């Protein structure tokens, strides 16, 4: 049995689908049973779990041959770092009590750094805590997800301006499509060869690095209108993020993350990682997102 946490998300659903195509039994873990309908349709067993409760996590990993571990950032929480650490601790307690043969943990570029990287420090904490699990362990570190640009697509389409915290606008940074992360995760879960080292560290990004200027140009070409990238001044980041609905602590995690990003710290750990490259392009991801956003933009104009 392959247990996939966050199976209803972009990465998890890609992993679950790939495993089912390979003929493997999949237990798809979701927060709400309604979110598992599409996964049930492809033959997944649906399990509802509270990731904050070790007993709940222990129940869904019972009998697992392999587990794909995901600890999502609790965006709605006033203290997201403390909430995520609590979630990680609950999952680790369950895995320590009943370790499956194989664990693939979804992590981030920059997780090798213990501090100074905002949200990414939480993935460092996840990796650190997982090291005590008696399983064949793989950390799958992914670059910034291309889907993250969906958050500002309505503004870009409505106003022709793409706000960016990436400074300068010409800076190239690694990105990746969620489906490519999910497909690689499935490959790692299916890999029966004994690992030469544990934990094994695997990184994934797209074949081509991009800049904020590239993102704006791609949106403009897909939407058939001019879109200009705008470098949001550093002093305005916190206010912009608070207006977007983030708590003060969450906004600070984001600003610290992009300070580290702009300093070049959110990148592959070349000394430790096996590097993989996803084939999905930025244009393909944004092209899939644009139709649903175009109607929103049109109504705003």
Residue-wise pLDDT tens digits, 52-84: 999 999 999 999 999 999 988 887 788 999 999
Note the pLDDT of residue 29.
97
First to last CA, the chain: 50
d(CA 83, CA 75): 10
Buried-exposed string 75-93: b where 16+ CB fall within 10 A, e elsewhere: eebeebbebbbbbbebbbe
CA distance 88 to 65: 20
pLDDT of residue 125: 97
Confidence (pLDDT) at 291: 65
Distance of CA 190 to the CA centre of its chain: 20
- Delineate the domains of the chain, giving CATH numbers in brackets: 2-146+176-206+267-279 (3.40.50.720)
- Which residues of the chain have a pLDDT value below 70? 291-301
Rounded Cα distance between 262 and 240, Å, is 18
Tell me, what's the pLDDT at 121?
Answer: 97
DSSP letters for 209-262:
-B-HHHHHHHHHHHHTS--EEEE--GGGHHHHHHHTT--HHHHHHHHHHHHHHH
Rounded to whole angstroms, the Cα distance separating 259 from 277 reads 25
Q: What is the CA radius of gyration of the chain?
A: 19
pLDDT at 52: 94
Pairing of β 102-108 and β 274-278: unpaired
Asked if 263 and 121 touch (Cβ cutoff 8 Å), the reply is no
Predicted local confidence at residue 73, as pLDDT: 86
Report DSSP letters for 208-224, one per residue: S-B-HHHHHHHHHHHHT
pLDDT, position 196 = 73
pLDDT > 90: percent of the chain: 86
Alpha-carbon distance 80 to 256, whole Å? Answer: 14
């Amino acid at each position: 049995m392959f247990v996939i946490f966050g199976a209803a998300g972009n990465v998890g659903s890609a992993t679950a689908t790939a495993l089912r195509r390979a003929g493997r039994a999949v237990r798809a873990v979701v927060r709400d049973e309604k979110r598992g309908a599409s996964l049930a349709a492809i033959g997944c067993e649906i399990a509802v779990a509270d990731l904050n409760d070790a007993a709940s996590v222990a129940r869904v990993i019972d009998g697992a041959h392999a587990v794909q571990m995901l600890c999502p950032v609790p965006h709605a929480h006033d203290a997201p770092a403390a909430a995520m650490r609590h979630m990680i601790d609950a999952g680790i307690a369950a895995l320590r009590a009943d370790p499956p043969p194989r664990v693939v943990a979804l992590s981030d570029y920059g997780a090798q750094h213990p501090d100074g990287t905002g949200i990414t420090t939480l993935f460092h904490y996840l990796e650190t805590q997982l090291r005590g699990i008696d399983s064949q362990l793989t950390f799958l570190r992914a670059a910034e997800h291309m889907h993250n640009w969906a958050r500002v697509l309505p503004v870009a389409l409505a106003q022709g301006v793409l706000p960016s915290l990436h400074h300068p606008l010409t800076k190239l940074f690694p990105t990746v499509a969620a489906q490519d992360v999910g497909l690689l995760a499935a490959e790692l879960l299916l890999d029966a060869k004994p690992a030469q080292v544990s934990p094994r560290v695997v990184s994934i990004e797209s074949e081509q690095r991009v800049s904020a200027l590239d993102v704006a140009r791609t949106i403009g070409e897909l939407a058939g209108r001019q879109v200009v990238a705008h470098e949001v001044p550093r002093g305005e980041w916190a206010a912009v993020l608070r207006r977007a609905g983030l708590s003060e602590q969450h906004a600070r995690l984001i600003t610290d993350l992009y300070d580290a990003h702009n300093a070049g710290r959110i990148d592959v750990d070349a000394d430790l990682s096996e590097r993989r490259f996803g084939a999905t392009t930025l244009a393909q991801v944004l092209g899939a997102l644009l139709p649903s956003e175009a109607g929103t933009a049109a109504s705003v104009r």
